[in-house]
Structure 1
């Protein structure tokens, strides 16, 4: 029987980057949460390596971007390099656009950093309770709450938590998703992979040509931290328990390298590729790898999960605080599931192209023998891994977006192109309001009304919804494609919720829009 009972508004299950980001976001909304993680500490493995520009915008909103950037690699590491062995010259290279240099479309750049450097920053970003070593073993939905049974595997102590909502961020092998019987679609398990963390002096081969990832014919090499450390990713051998990992890493570095690797950690894992058939089951919502597992090529997985909870947490806050109706939570799946499918297609395509490149080069090496292979055209352009359209061009279509008469833009099939637009459903474009203040800095735990005509809009009643009105100059309205008396209503996640071409038609214009967007009962 449970020996302790706890009541919270939102129970977060899973203490990776997605669960930790949700915890920080919900704390800022004043939502009482408890985060539980079955492991007894944060992950000691590097795992995810890329924080893209959109995730950095979200982390900037949490006040964390500067610290994360300070602990990350310099921008020059924002490249992918292809080599026969690590100490050979590049035979191809591609930029991580939005990481290797600043971009005008965002106030921040993405960074190359290891997950074990990111998670402590996210953990320190909130003061709400977090308990390590607690594993969820049962879940029961009731009319107005969810009851979770948790167990401490070390001492057997059980805890029963009653929450209004449960956010499942418990990974690709999600216990919650399996307990709910939610299936998945997609390729499934694509490869069994081993990550070997090691130390070796590789500076002479890489210092002049830095990269976040070096793909070779014998696996991928990743620098882990600015001060040192490496990881080698390769297919898991048939008998991993008997493997001589230092010898395998040294062999992969190249027979003429003469370098001995000092291995500190080894982790076996499966590279999955799927999207859950549902993201919501009553009061239980899936996010991150629990909702969609992405192949690692292109660094899309963790970033998609951070965007999930940025979309979800303001909706949970509205449901908890009463200014949104239950139907608003339905828009989470409506908006995020199509993005997950689009992202999965891109991640699978990235993986296939990387494997093709490695296969082509191995064939060249086999055919040429000891001779240096001639250059070969690779199956992508320099822009292939750009992906800005997928990172910044996400568009939502749901009841939480009021469409206007504008013609919608078509999303890029490859995710490489991004065209800034202030049309409903799109992320509000970045531009500088002052030298140090972006349009994105006006968004937070509130709705934002951007207008060159604030006097007329300030007369609109907005309670009980949190709202701030920000004035725009003529220059800014031109950038938005907005007439002099128009306005943009921006949701707390930075996406345009509504757009007006003229002054409010009545005293209830804004109230009607907020009521519709939040699926709430109109205030009397």
Structure 2
């Protein structure tokens, strides 16, 4: 067995939002990590634009939601607008549900912010070693861990790291996924696109009609930061090396704008749409774009990756701390892969809708049609609470007993339910404390009769018993004499008992089943 220079419980490959979120979540569980990122610094490019309401719930648990919101746009920017050019009036608009205004289904609101604003906050959310300019070049699974070879970008020096587990969040072109030979399914390449970051004074047309995204017939505009800066993206033209980027952006601004863009930087990128055939291979786990490359239209991809990390990290912590069996990690793929497929379906639908609207409107403008005619626009493409909050898990880590069969997820409609597999619904327990605030780095038992359940021995599992007000017990159809909900650390209901427990071992048996762990004694 080759010697290792470094040993660590979890090696995280990739320093984007998903890898950084996983690092912060594992730190909360007391799990040491080493994070490596092949680039020499956090991304200076804005990239992802939207932190949705579910991600903000997760960041609220980490204590960083307020800081993220402080650097983000005001809620009124949670809107999309369609225009011929940025200079023209809207011909369609819609609010981003859960971003534009608070929703009763959550204690938080999502935000419009740039990825280069989000990542430093995530980096500061946890300690532990981070190595930038370090690339994974090889890995091999062993009986009790994974041996990874890292290369320093500056000097080429190699380091051998032995990790109990590897969490690969290294993007759509994942080196780890490629090394493992894991294939992908889905539409694949949807085209080549270019993002142009530029400066221009556009307040005259946008200050009183704010939006996080302006779709035009000639490309898409996004404001970057509350204090200024813009980005435009569209299909990469032929011979991009000779393109007049300032001219292309100015055309999309509109001939009447009288504004020329001052180009800051340009980035070309492929838009792909795939889901990995497997999220789990032995001790190596894929998350974020490494597991599912989702088109950016609708702001679903990064947020799905944050939810991946939330689902996975408590399971990793349980295995490493000894209160969960290794087979629990298999439920990560079982639970998250169907969500990834539905997320991809929705994002691809968003993308084709956008492309269709832009092409049709371009044809109308070329034909001299001033007013848009029968464009295939629908507000439902930006009403995503059903997908964001309504995902239901079905696996060995959920005790389905009498629960309804796994429903086909609705992208638009979210109906709160406390059935096993679903996210625990939000209700205010006090003016500033939600049912979601009772959850954390532990299992939570919510019951109107805590004394009945507190007598049950549950070691070695981390568990808090929380008193549930009578009115909420009635809403969830729980007996006031001892009905209960067992909620996993990721906020999804693991089990429920409508009536008092039949014996003193009920909770112990449930936790053992959910975590695939049967402690002696």
Q: Aligned partners of 1:489 and 1:337: how far apart in 2?
A: 23
Q: Aligned partners of 2:143 and 2:81: how far apart in 1?
A: 54
Q: Aligned partners of 2:226 and 2:18: how far apart in 1?
A: 24
* Secondary structure in 2 matching 1:384: helix
For 1:42-89, what per-residue CA distance to the aligned partner results, in whole angstroms no more than 9, with x for missing partners?
A: 000000000000000000000011010110000100111000000000
Question: 1:479 is matched with which residue?
Answer: 475
User: What's the offset of the Cα at 1:364?
Assistant: 1.9
Question: 2:385 is matched with which residue?
Answer: 388
Question: 2:456 is matched with which residue?
Answer: 460
Residues 281, 406 of structure 1: alpha-carbon distance in 2 compared, 3 angstrom cutoff: closer
Question: 2:416 is matched with which residue?
Answer: 420
Q: Aligned partners of 1:242 and 1:491: how far apart in 2?
A: 54
How many equivalent residue pairs? 519
Matched, 1:155 2:155: yes
Q: Which runs of 4+ in 1 moved over 4 A?
A: none
Give runs of aligned pairs for residues 7-406 of structure 1, distance below 5 A: 7-367=7-367, 369=368, 372-373=370-371, 375-406=372-403
The CA RMSD over aligned residues, in Å, is 1.3
User: What's the offset of the Cα at 1:336?
Assistant: 0.3
Q: Aligned partners of 1:351 and 1:171: how far apart in 2?
A: 20
Q: Aligned partners of 1:427 and 1:376: how far apart in 2?
A: 41
* Residue segments in structure 1 that go unaligned for 5+ positions in a row: none
For 1:327-369, what per-residue CA distance to the aligned partner results, in whole angstroms no more than 9, with x for missing partners?
A: 10000000000100011001011111111211221222122x2
Q: Aligned partners of 2:444 and 2:4: how far apart in 1?
A: 42
Matched, 1:443 2:436: no
* Secondary structure in 2 matching 1:201: coil
For 1:179-228, what per-residue CA distance to the aligned partner results, in whole angstroms no more than 9, with x for missing partners?
A: 00000000111010101000000111111111000000110000000000
Q: Aligned partners of 1:358 and 1:238: how far apart in 2?
A: 19
For 1:106-149, what per-residue CA distance to the aligned partner results, in whole angstroms no more than 9, with x for missing partners?
A: 00011000000000000000011111010000001000000000
Question: 1:496 is matched with which residue?
Answer: 493
Residues 109, 443 of structure 1: alpha-carbon distance in 2 compared, 3 angstrom cutoff: same
Q: Aligned partners of 1:107 and 1:523: how far apart in 2?
A: 40
Q: Aligned partners of 1:376 and 1:498: how far apart in 2?
A: 51
User: What's the offset of the Cα at 1:476?
Assistant: 1.4
* Secondary structure in 2 matching 1:209: coil
* Secondary structure in 1 matching 2:381: coil
* Alpha carbons 2:319, 2:326 under 8 Å: kept: yes
**TM-score, normalisation: structure 1:** 0.97
Q: Aligned partners of 1:161 and 1:189: how far apart in 2?
A: 34
User: What's the offset of the Cα at 1:3?
Assistant: 11
User: What's the offset of the Cα at 1:253?
Assistant: 1.4
* Alpha carbons 2:12, 2:167 under 8 Å: kept: yes
Matched, 1:512 2:504: no
